Amino acid sequence: MKRARGLLLALAWLALAAPVRGADLRSTEAVGAVPLHADARPASPPRDAAVRKALSEAVRRVALELLAELDPAEVEPRLDAALGTDPLAYISRFRTLEDRGERPVLFSDDPEAKTEYVVVVEASVDAGRLRERLARAGLLVAPAGEVRRYHVRLEAEGLEDYAAYHALRETLLEGVGVRSALPVELERGRAVLEVDGELAGDALLAALVRAAPPGLTLTALETGPERLHVRVDLAPEPAPASAPRPGN
């Protein structure tokens, strides 16, 4: 139990502290406000909903910067569908600058709400990932000669200790040279990483196998352009030979 707790704590720390290598991060501040109704219980805590609203606003702000040369009247109706519903897909890290709590309505446009919950966040938005999503939606054309980027969801099983996880992630970052490998799900024996690089799933697997250090074995369970499911086995390092005793 103690060993499992140590593994999860180490992985959780990496999830918060791991830098995104080579990413185009844009730092921006945004306000998030959710209307409150006295006769209705919110589906989620108001603070959480306000933070998510602020992150969505931060993502939209950077997206509009990337699309500054286009007509806003053409962009706005298509932007929400292009970005999807999860702002965390584009957020590298964030922090809450102000938790203003419940206050009279100022930002919300709900005519029935008398108060709202307000927060201010500072977020680092991955502009490279945004460009790719906007290009897929037909809103942004990638410059000629730009290297295509892939976002592969890598699910790894068999991670019984921190050493196996560390070996896999180091192989991705140092051996294969992906831009980032951010853990998004962590539990004993399993981890899911969002891998940002120039290789689709099958090619990424082949590169991992080639770059794997001695003792690290990767077995493919399922592959696809944007998903890779593997089993990871890490053989223990051999114990050093003991020195011969004097007189033997």
Q: Are residues 87 and 121 in the same domain?
A: yes
What whole-number distance in Å separates Cα of residue 201 and Cα of residue 199? Answer: 7
Q: How confident is the model at residue 244 (pLDDT cuts 50, 70, 90)?
A: low
CATH number (domain holding residue 38): 3.30.1660.10
For the record, the structure tokens of 106 come out as 């100022």
Q: Does 3 map to a domain? A: no
Q: Does 113 map to a domain? A: yes
Q: Residue 70's beta-bridge partner residues?
A: none
Q: Does 128 map to a domain? A: yes
Q: Does 73 map to a domain? A: yes
pLDDT, position 239: 58
pTM to 2 decimal places: 0.54
Segment holding 2, helix H or strand E:
helix 2-17
Instruction: Answer for the pair 19, 179: CB distance below 8 angstroms, yes or no.
Output: no
CATH number (domain holding residue 166): 3.30.70
Q: Which domain holds residue 183?
A: 150-234
Work out the end-to-end distance of the chain between its first and last CA atoms, rounded to an integer number of angstroms: 43
CB atoms within 10 A of CB 179: 20
Q: Does 5 map to a domain? A: no
Q: Are residues 27 and 127 in the same domain?
A: yes
Domain count, the chain: 2
What whole-number distance in Å separates Cα of residue 94 and Cα of residue 13? Answer: 15
The percentage of the chain sitting over the pLDDT mark of 70, rounded to a whole number, equals 82
Instruction: Answer for the pair 150, 199: CB distance below 8 angstroms, yes or no.
Output: yes
pLDDT, position 19: 45
Q: Are residues 64 and 101 in the same domain?
A: yes
Q: Are residues 159 and 128 in the same domain?
A: no
Q: Are residues 168 and 123 in the same domain?
A: no
